[in-house]
Amino acid sequence: MAIPAFNHFLDLAELSSDQFWGLLRLAKRLKDERREKGANEPILAGKSLALLFQKPSLRTRVSFEMGMQHLGGYAFYLSPAEVGLGSRESAADVARVLSGYVDGIMARVFAHQDVTDLAAWGSVPVINGLSDFSHPCQALTDIFTAWEVLGDLEDRTIAYVGDGANNVATSLMMAAGKVGLNVRIVSPAGYMPTAAVVEASGAEVSVTDDLDGVQGVDILYTDVWTSMGQEAEREERLAVLSPYQINQSVLERTGNARALVMHCLPAHRGEEITDDVADGSASILFPQAHNRLHAQKAILAHLLGGVPLI
């Protein structure tokens, strides 16, 4: 039976496991196609994507621009100062204006409500390129990377160490729930996910403040302790989260000589992760970053190109 299509990519809670797997398989097809033939079919010829940013970016901006180009389409960057989403103009008005010009909107915002408003008021697909609540493009990429490296993900376990309440941790749990990957959140009190997020993820999630939670896991994952927009809390966060650094000793504490290390990047090296681990043999940080391109091409092919999920 065909997998139902979806119209926006705002949050993984809105996607079924079948739709998520459909995206993973499409990402693999597009990645393989480019590797084998040197290029993708121009399935987005004549299509355009606006990249709307309220926050800085390297990976998200460049991977979406290049992803559109690989598929024959066109993308352009709109800076925070230019658009003034929510200050110069409301998300509702921005969405209605852009919908007359482009075939899709990718937005990186502070308030998650802004991406939902863009989708509600516009008439073109909207992709969440990170909000304070979630980072679904990252999590799709992370699972795609884990699937590539580990193969079957059923009964594998990933430990997310650090700020377990942030956008990356939230989306990682949601994504894990789609593929049967078990999650351990290892975070201090005050930085643990809410019961509502754990419940919504549908994943097998355990939450602890004890670093022994990393024992036996297949993957260690971390992200910055101070996310964009939380800069005023930096000192307080450093003090509470510093015992949760991923270093050689935490890697050894997994007891798994084949354990892998992931990080969505950018990293604050020397804070949440040490150089020796980030650059060591367990690290898959850069293949993970590169996969943003392939995972997002699947989202674009489906939303803007109508490529069915199979």
Residue from 227, 254, 283, 291 in contact with ligand NVA (CB under 6 A) = 227
| Choice between 138 and 201, CB closer to ligand NVA | 138
Residue 223 partner contact from ligand CP, ligand NVA, none using kind-dependent CB cut-offs of 5 to 8 Å:
ligand NVA
Residues 112-141 that bind ligand CP (CB under 6 A): 130, 138
| Choice between 65 and 223, CB closer to ligand NVA | 223
- Give the shortest CB-299-to-ligand CP separation in angstroms: 14
Q: Does 265 bind ligand CP (CB under 6 A)?
A: yes
Instruction: Point out which span in 16-24, 54-62, 70-78, 210-218 binds ligand CP (CB under 6 A).
Output: 54-62
Cα angle for residues 275, 163, 149 (degrees, 5° grid): 60
Cα angle for residues 22, 23, 29 (degrees, 5° grid): 90
What Cα–Cα distance (Å) separates residue 156 from each residue in 1, 144, 177?
28, 14, 12
CB 250 within 8 A of CB 201: no
Query: Taking CB positions, which residue lies at the least distance from ligand NVA?
Result: 227
Reading phi first (left if > 0) and then psi (alpha if -120 to 50, else beta), residue 106 is in beta
- Structure tokens given for 173: 């749990």
Q: What CA dihedral angle connects 288, 293, 294 and 299, to 10 degrees?
A: 120
Residue 227 partner contact from ligand CP, ligand NVA, none using kind-dependent CB cut-offs of 5 to 8 Å:
ligand NVA
**Could you give the residue numbers annotated as active site?**
108, 135, 138, 223, 264, 292
List contacts with ligand CP (CB under 6 A): 57-60, 130, 138, 264-266
